[in-house]
Amino acid sequence: MIKATFYHAGCPVCVEAEQGFATALNPSNYQVESVHLGNDKGRISEAEAAGVQSVPALVIDDTPYHINFGASINDLK
C-alpha cells in the first residue's frame, strides 16, 4: 500500500482539491491521510520536510504535488 498525505488549510480551494484529488485515489492502492495544517500546526515542519511549499498539496512516495494555490506554507506558521 502506498502512503499519500494530503496537506491543506481547510480553505475552499483545499476542500475542493481534497474532494477532487485525495478521494479519487484508489483505496486499494493508496492509504490517504488528510492533515489540516491550520488545526495541526505541529505538522507544518513535516510538510516542509516533504517539500510542501503551498497548500493544498498531496505527497505520494516522498514527492509533493501542489494543487492550485490556497495558501503559502509560510502563511500557516
CA distances from 77 to 7, 41, 42, 65, 74 (A): 14, 7, 9, 20, 5
| Cell output for 45 | 515542519
Digit-by-digit pLDDT tens for the chain (77 residues) are: 999 999 999 888 888 888 888 788 998 999 999 999 989 999 999 999 999 999 999 999 999 999 888 889 999 88
Which distant-in-sequence residues (6+ apart) come within 8 Å of 10 by Cβ?
36, 38, 39
| Cell output for 67 | 494543487
- Per the confidence metrics, is the pTM higher than 0.85? yes
- The predicted structure's pLDDT at residue 16: 85
